[in-house]
Amino acid sequence: MKLKAFAKINLSLHVFGKRPDGYHALESVMQSVSLCDYIIINPAKEGLTVTCSDPRVPQGPANIAYKAAELFTRKQKAVSGKQLAGINIHIEKNIPMAAGLAGGSADAAAVLYGLNQMLDSAIRIPQSELLKLAAQVGSDVPFCLTGGTCLVEGRGEIVTPQEPWPKTYFVLATPDFPVSTKWAYEEFDRLNLSLPSTVKNDLEAVVLTKHEEIATIKERLIKLGCYDAQMSGSGPTVFGSVHHKAEAQKILEQIQNDYLQSFVTETVDRGVAIADYGMSESE
pLDDT at 39: 98
Relative orientation angle of helices 127-137 and 64-80, to the nearest 10 degrees:
140
What pLDDT does 278 receive? 44
Domains in the chain and their CATH numbers?
2-162 (3.30.230.10), 169-266 (3.30.70.890)
Encode the chain (283 residues) as per-residue pLDDT tens digits: 999 999 999 999 999 989 999 899 999 999 999 999 999 999 998 999 999 999 999 988 999 999 999 999 999 888 777 777 799 999 999 999 999 999 999 999 999 999 999 988 888 999 999 999 999 999 999 999 999 999 999 999 999 999 999 999 999 999 999 999 999 999 999 999 889 889 999 999 999 999 999 999 999 999 999 999 999 999 999 999 999 999 999 999 999 999 999 999 999 999 999 997 444 443 4
- Long-range contacts made by residues 186-193, C-beta under 8 angstroms, separation at least 24? 188/15, 188/24, 189/18
First-residue to last-residue Cα distance in the chain: 17
Residues near 249 by Cβ (< 8 Å), separated by ≥ 6? 264
pLDDT of residue 279: 41
Whole-angstrom distance, CA of residue 115 vs CA of residue 97: 24
221, 237, 240, 111: which is closest to 179 by C-alpha? 237
Minimal CA–CA distance to 113: which of 94, 90, 93, 129?
129
Rounded Cα–Cα distance for residues 231 and 267 (Å): 16
Q: What is the reported pLDDT for 281?
A: 41
What is the spatial distance between Cα 77 and Cα 84, in angstroms, rounded to a whole number? 9
**What would you report as the CA-atom Rg of the chain, rounded to the nearest whole angstrom?**
19
Residues of the chain with pLDDT > 70, as a percent, come to 97
pLDDT recorded at residue 123: 87
In angstroms, how far apart are the furthest CA atoms of the chain? 59
CA-to-CA distance for 37 and 49, rounded, in angstroms? Answer: 17
C-alpha distances out from residue 96 to 47, 102, 112, Å: 28, 9, 21
In the set 8, 67, 75, 218, the catalytic residue is 8
How many of the other CB atoms lie within 10 Å of CB of 242?
23
Active-site residue, 8 included: yes
21 labelled catalytic: no
Going 58 to 99 to 10 to 239, the CA torsion angle's sign is negative
Catalytic annotation, pick one of 67, 140, 202, 218: 140
Query: In this predicted structure, what is the pLDDT of residue 132?
Result: 96
**Number of helices (H) and strands (E), helices first, in the chain?**
8, 11
Q: What is the pLDDT of residue 140?
A: 97
